[in-house]
């Protein structure tokens, strides 16, 4: 379990940041 989290941690964090930012951006656009 620990290995699954720490493996490729940097890529996982970058992907998470991208996912959150994209979601926020798209939602912002949809609300306009």
Taking CB under 8 A as the rule, does residue 9 contact another protein? no
Taking CB under 8 A as the rule, does residue 30 contact another protein? no
d(CA 19, CA 13): 10
d(CA 30, CA 20): 15
Selected from 5, 14, 30, 31, the binder of another protein by CB under 8 A is 14
d(CA 7, CA 1): 10
Taking CB under 8 A as the rule, does residue 11 contact another protein? yes
Taking CB under 8 A as the rule, does residue 6 contact another protein? no
Q: Which residues bind another protein (CB under 8 A)?
A: 8, 11-12, 14-25, 28
């Amino acid at each position: 379990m620990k290995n699954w989290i720490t493996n490729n941690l940097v890529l996982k964090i970058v992907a998470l940041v991208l996912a959150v930012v994209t979601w926020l951006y798209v939602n912002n656009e949809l609300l306009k």
